[in-house]
A and B are shown apart, each in its own frame.
Chain A
Amino acid sequence: MSDAMSRSGLHEPALALHVEDLTASYGGSAVLWDVDLNVPPGVLAAIVGPNGAGKSTLLKCVIGAVRAAAGHVYVFGRPYVRQRHRVAYVPQRTSVDWDFPTTALDVVTMGLYGRLGWLRRPGRREADEALEALAMVGMDAYADRQISQLSGGQQQRVFLARALVQDADLYLMDEPFAGVDATTERAIVELLKDLRSRGKTVVAVHHDLQTVSSYFDWLALLNVRLIAQGRVSEVYTSENLRAAYGPRVVLIAAQADGSPGEPETSAPTDAGARRTTAPPGPGGR
C-alpha cells in the first residue's frame, strides 16, 4: 500500500471514502474503535447502528470536526484537507440553531463559503446558484423566509440544497431523514438516487432498519467497531444485525427480512456496547 502511495501520491484512489484504523473517544470511553471503512464511488451508502454507535462521530472524524485518536481518512485517494472542495457535509438538522437571524437562501449560500475561501464575500452569482439549488428541492418560494418559520422537512430540504450547491463528489449526510414528513422523505430518496445516477457518492447515517434495503445499495453496520460492510444484499443479514444491535434485535432482524418490525434498540444494549469496546454480544459472530 505504501508503495502505491509513493508512486502516485494517492492512497486507495479507487475508493470514494477510505477510513483506516480510525479510533475516537469522548471523555475516556471509546466511541469508535479501529474502524476500517471503504466506500466505492457511485454508491448510496448507509451507516447503520444503534444509538451511540459512533455513526455521527465517524462522519465528523472524516471532516475533521472531531479529532480522531488514531487512524487515517482518505477521500478519493487524498487526505480530506486536500479534498475539501469535493466533499459536502450535511450535519444533523438539530445541530444548528434555527432561530438564527437568517433566511433560507442565506443558509444555502453558506454552502459556497468553502469555495469562496477567506474574506471573499458571496455576490450575485452565489445568490443565483443558491436559488437554483433551492429550486431543486422545491423550496425556491421560501428563499426569503426566516429559517425558524420553516417546518422540519423544509429545514432539511434547505440543508440538502446547501449540500447540492457545493456540487461535490462525495456527500456526507448525518441523519437526512430525521424528523421529516413523508413527502420530504420520498423526495430526499429521489434526490439521493439522482445524485447516484450522476456518479456521485453518498454516505448517510441512517437510523431506520426497515428502509435501508430500499433506500441504499451499500451498507456499513457500526457499533463502535465496524461489524460488516458491503452491498446491502450481502450485509443485511440477521447475523450481522445481531452483532450490531445485540441479541434483542435478533427476533426483529429475523422479521425485518420479511416484514418490517421495530427498528429501535433499547438503551441498555447500546450503553453496554459502548462501554465494552469488544465485539458486542456473547458469541457475536
Chain B
Amino acid sequence: MSELQAWLDQPSVTIVAIGALVGIAASLLGTFLVLRRESMLSDAISHSVLLGIVVAYLLTGTLDTPLHVIGAALAGLATVWLTDLLARSRRVKNDAAIGLVFPALFALAVLLINLYARDVHLDTDAVLLGEIAFAWLDVVNLGQLEVARSLLTMLVIALVNLAFVVFLYKELKLSTFDPQLAMAFGLRPVAIGYALLGLVSVSAVGAFDAVGAILFVAFVIVPPTAAYLLTDRLWWMLTIGCMIAIGASFAGYAFARAFDVSIGGAMASATGGFLLLALTFGKHGLIARGWRQRAPAAPPLPDFGAVSTGPAGGGGVSGHGVGGGAGQAVSGVPRAQVEAPSAASR
C-alpha cells in the first residue's frame, strides 16, 4: 500500500493519470458524438455546464456537493434540448442554434458569478483552461490512501462512461447508425442520445478542475477523429481513441516538461499530433487513399441466387427496370454514377 502511495505522491503520475482518464472518459463518448456529427455539442455543453454549477452553488452555498454535478448535467441537457427546440422550429439552422444557446447560458452564468459569487473560486479562466499542474495538491483520503481529488473524480467518471458504452454498445451503435430503425425497435434512440450528452456534461464538469473546457473538447473530438481514420470497426475506433488519449497525455506531459509550457495545452496539442499521423499514415489517410486509387475496384455484383436460376416469370419485369428513373430525385445519385464501379471492374 505504501508503495502505491509513494507512486501516487509523485505529481507527474497524478498529472499524467488525470490527463489519461479525462481522455478516456471523453473519447469514449466522443466516438459517438463524432459519428453522430454532433461533436460541437461537446463544446457547447462544456461551456454551459458552468450555469449548472453556479446555480447549484447559489442554492447550496458550497461547491463540494454532488449537487453541482447534477446541476451541470441538467444545464448540459438544457443546452441540447434548447438547441433542438430552436432547430426544430425551422427558423434557425442547427449549427446557429448551438451558437445561440450556449453563449447565452454561459453569459448568464458569468453574470450570476459577478452578481452573487464574486468571492468564490469560480473564475472563468479556470473553467476554460483548468490547471492540471496543481491538481495533485488537492487530495482526499481514501482509507489509508491519499489520492488527488481530480484523479478520483475522473476515475469514477471514466468507469461510468466505460460501463455506459460497454453495456449499451448495441443500442448506442444502432441509434447512431440508424436512429429510425432503433425507433422502430423501441430502443429509444432519443433517450440514449440524451443519456450520452448527459454523461458528456458530467464528464465536462469533472474535467473542469483538471484540464478545463477547451482541453476537454479536444479530448472529445480529436482522438475519435484520428481513430476513425485508422479503422473500419466501431469497437476498434473506441479502443484506438482511448489509446490515443492515453498516449497524448504522456506525450503532452513530457513535452510540457521539456519546454516548460502549459501541460493542458501540450496534451491538447499532442492529440493533434496523433491526428496528423493518422491523417497521413492511416487506413483512410492520405497515403492509403493515393494507393487505393490505383487498386482494382470491387468484383461485379452477382444476381440473387433465386433470380439467376429462377423461373422466367421475371422476364416481363426486366424490360421496365432498365429505363426506370425510380427515386433518382430522392437519392440524388445519378444511376450511371452508382453503376460505375462495377462497370469498371468488368
Interface residues of A, Cβ cutoff 8 Å to B: 26-27, 51, 60, 63-65, 81, 84, 87, 89, 91-97, 100-103, 107, 110-111, 113-114, 116, 118-122, 135-138, 141, 146, 149-154, 157, 175, 177-187, 189-191, 193-194, 206-208, 210-211, 214-215, 260, 263-264
Contacts and interface: CB of A to CB of B under 8 A. Distances in A.
B169 A210 contact: no
A237 B301 CA distance: 37
Given A152-B333, A186-B314, A207-B329, 20 more contacts: A89-B180, A97-B35, A97-B177, A100-B35, A100-B234, A101-B35, A103-B233, A122-B170, A138-B302, A138-B307, A141-B302, A154-B298, A157-B304, A177-B324, A177-B326, A179-B328, A185-B324, A190-B307, A190-B314, A260-B323
Q: Determine which residue in B176, B177, B228 has the highest number of CB atoms from chain A within 10 A of its CB, and name it.
A: B177
A194 B306 contact: yes
A102 to B, nearest CB: 6
A97 B36 CA distance: 9
Contact of B167 (A87, A119, A214): A119
B321 A185 contact: yes
A27 B35 CA distance: 27
A93 B333 CA distance: 11
Contacts of A157: 304
A27 B89 contact: yes
Contacts of A184: 301
Contacts, number: 200
B259 interface: no
A266 B40 CA distance: 38
Contacts of A121: 169-170
A114 B184 contact: yes
A110 B181 contact: yes
Interface string B227-250: 010011110110000000000000
B305 A211 contact: no
Contacts of B321: 182, 185-186, 189, 211
Considering the complex of A and B, which 4 residue pairs feature the smallest CB-CB distances, nearest first?
A178-B327, A114-B185, A179-B331, A208-B326
B251 to A, nearest CB: 25
Residue picked from A102, A113, A119, most chain B C-beta under 10 Å: A113
A84 B188 CA distance: 13
Interface in B108-128: none
Interface in B166-195: 167-171, 173-174, 176-187
Interface centre among B234, B307, B321, B323 (most CB of A within 10 A): B321
Given A60-B180, A91-B178, A110-B177, A211 B324 contact: yes
Interface in B284-334: 298, 301-307, 310, 313-314, 316-318, 320-333
Interface stretch (B52-60, B61-69, B145-153, B335-343): B335-343
Contacts of B346: none
Contact of A153 (B181, B228, B301): B301
Interface residues of B, number: 63
A175 B327 contact: yes
Contact of B324 (A141, A183, A210): A210
B338 A153 contact: yes
Q: Is the interface of B mostly helix, strand, loop or mixed?
A: helix
A100 B224 CA distance: 13
Nearest to B231: A101
B11 to A, nearest CB: 38
B306 A179 contact: no
B180 A65 contact: yes
A102 B330 contact: no
Contact of B185 (A51, A84, A122): A84
A118 B187 CA distance: 7
A113 B327 contact: no
A152 B232 contact: no
Nearest to A180: B338
A182 B317 CA distance: 11
5 contacts: A100-B234, A101-B236, A179-B335, A181-B338, A190-B307
B339 A110 contact: no
A138 B181 CA distance: 23
A103 to B, nearest CB: 7
B174 A113 contact: yes
Contacts of A180: 338
Nearest to A28: B90
Contact of A113 (B187, B314, B325): B187
Contacts of A141: 302
Contacts of B187: 113-114, 118
Q: B35, B89, B325 — which one has the most chain A CB atoms within 10 A of its CB?
A: B325
B189 to A, nearest CB: 9
B332 A94 contact: yes
Nearest to B237: A101
A2 B90 CA distance: 39
B160 to A, nearest CB: 16
Question: Looking at B35, B171, B324, which has the most chain A CB atoms within 10 Å of its CB?
Answer: B324
B304 A102 contact: no
A149 B322 CA distance: 24
A122 B322 CA distance: 39
B342 A151 contact: yes
Nearest to B321: A185
Contacts of A211: 317, 320-321, 324, 326
A102 B326 contact: no
B136 to A, nearest CB: 37
Nearest to A88: B184
B144 to A, nearest CB: 37
Contacts of B228: 101
Contact of B339 (A120, A151, A191): A151
